[in-house]
Structure 1
Amino acid sequence: MDPRKIQQIIDAGVDFDIQEILQKAWVLFKTRASFHIGFMFIIGATQAFFAYYLEDFVSIYSILLAPALIAGFYLVANRLSQEEYVDFQNYFDGFKYWLLVVTINLISGILTVLGIFALIVPGIYLAVGYMFAMLFGIFGGFDFWTSMEMSRKLVTTNWWKFFGFVLILLLLNIAGLLAFIVGILITVPVTYLAIYVLFEQLTEDAVDESPEGEKTITHL
């Protein structure tokens, strides 16, 4: 990604149709529904294992494993969007970016918690603002701080719209929990797919051009 083009997007401001984003995310979900559900089941089983059998080490999962697993959804979403072949092992490609995504998740999480402890509102602002940090790191090739700042600045251009988007995703997952819990096997993957779809749509003018003139958002 070209930092100058990203800055131009930020300077111009962004807007989007939440319904359209969710519809596109649902299409990506249906494309590999069994894969998405299966990977989410593995994540849920891993969380349950730590919670019940390694309770003292839950923080290790949250800090060292969860970020790479979440990144797997984004990487698969990218492949699906580019109409590339997807194998189940691609969900674990997030571990290729392990240090970067762990750092982004840890630092952004600490700053968000500090913001909540301070006045609550700054924490909410940062929680929404850093929603694309991991994506900028993976697909933009930026370091953790640049990724966090680019995400925050992009979201700030239309923060309330992004807040509404996050709120809808939150409500969607609450509904998934209420649906005998198993609903989250669908709603959580759709959530991450929706975040990717929105990121791709907002940054499409900043992606690099290949020698053949084709745009690509991936750095795999």
Structure 2
Amino acid sequence: MYRESEHTPQAIANRHYQVRSGQYLKEGWQIFSTQPAAYIGFLVLATITNTLLRSIPGLGPIAGGVSSSLFAAGYYFFSFRIVHNQRPAFSEFFNAFKNNYFLPIFLTNLVIGFITNVFVISASILFMIAGLPLLQSILERAAAEAAEPDADLEELLALLEQLPPVPYELIPVLIFAGVLLLLPGVYFGVAYMFAVPLVVEHQFDVWPALETSRRLVSRNWWSFFFLNVSIIFWNILGLCLCCVGLLVSIPWSSCVIVAAYRDIIGLRPTTDTPNPS
């Protein structure tokens, strides 16, 4: 347990630690298994709410994006109560919507999304441009081998033919540039993994949370990268299980991050009396 003076942004960023991925995956499951029905119920409720909000004409994408980021933070509120040996109420999931948390969590997610998406979207555009000749070749072959003319396919080919041709010698350059742009997006995506938890648990402001997480993670970035790859793998597996597995893997993923947070950063000292288990 760290002393109060060791919970400043500077002290946390300078933590000496080891990344124990296997331990975090196991402890994350232990956290999830204490209240599985609550985690799954909240995921179902959040999914339904986000779907309804996204269906609002005009404002749907914005409303859905904001609610998604706040609902995602709800897992942290609930999980941190558990690791503090307290009995969380279901309402803990909605703490991100409270006035003192809403703006910091929203802005933290907004900055993370902006920084990572600038690089990821730019890289995706370059990859798409580089893949246009291959796509056109595949579609032309499909049209030639089709037993009957396909109006939609011919319309798509006509659209591709109107685009400026991509010189073949330029394709490797576009792919290389896309990779160079993608790397910073991946870096920041991993480096900011503790930013929102720092807002939730340590109540840091936006920039201290972002910079503390980035500085801490960057010292052992590859280990955190492989931890994130492990989490993504289990979510893909959950998706393959007719999406039913996602009911478990999505909340469990947040529990894994909370387990890593507890081990590396440490829980904020609290005077709250733990609720009986």
TM-score range, shorter chain: 0.7 to 0.9
CA displacement 1:160-211 (0-9 Å, x = unmatched): 111101111111111111111121110000001111111121112x84476x
**Paired residue for 1:111?**
115
SS at match of 1:180: coil
Residue number among 77, 80, 88 corresponding to 2:79 in the alignment: 77
**Paired residue for 2:261?**
199
Q: Give the letter aligned to residue 239 of structure 2.
A: L
Residue number among 214, 220, 238 corresponding to 1:158 in the alignment: 220
Which structure has more RCO (C-alpha within 8 Å, separation ≥ 6)? 2
Mapping for residues 85-124 of structure 1, pairs under 5 Å: 85-96=87-98, 97-116=101-120, 117=122, 119-124=181-186
Matched-pair contact (CA < 8 Å) for 2:50–2:67: no
SS at match of 1:120: helix
Mapping for residues 2-41 of structure 1, pairs under 5 Å: 2-9=8-15, 12=16, 14-41=17-44
Residue number among 168, 179, 195 corresponding to 1:133 in the alignment: 195
Q: Give the letter aligned to residue 195 of structure 2.
A: A
CA displacement 1:139-178 (0-9 Å, x = unmatched): 2222111111111111101111111011111111111111
**Paired residue for 2:150?**
none
**Paired residue for 1:43?**
46
Q: 1:63: how far off?
A: 3.4
**Paired residue for 1:67?**
69
Matched-pair contact (CA < 8 Å) for 2:115–2:188: yes
Q: CA 1:115 to 1:172, structure 2 compared with 1: closer, same or farther past 3 Å?
A: same
Matched-pair contact (CA < 8 Å) for 1:2–1:208: no
Matched-pair contact (CA < 8 Å) for 1:63–1:102: no
TM-score normalised by length of structure 1: 0.86
CA displacement 1:106-141 (0-9 Å, x = unmatched): 011101112332611001100111111111122222
State the aligned residue count: 208
Matched-pair contact (CA < 8 Å) for 2:73–2:196: yes
TM-score normalised by length of structure 2: 0.69
Q: Give the letter aligned to residue 190 of structure 1.
A: W
Matched-pair contact (CA < 8 Å) for 1:115–1:126: no
Separation in structure 2 between the aligned mates of residue 104 and residue 4 of structure 1, nearest angstrom: 19
Q: Which protein has the larger Cα radius of gyration, Structure 1 or Structure 2?
A: 2
Q: 1:62: how far off?
A: 4.1
Q: CA RMSD in A?
A: 2.2
Q: Which runs of 5+ in 2 are unaligned?
A: 1-6, 124-180
Q: 1:4: how far off?
A: 3.6
Matched-pair contact (CA < 8 Å) for 1:6–1:203: yes
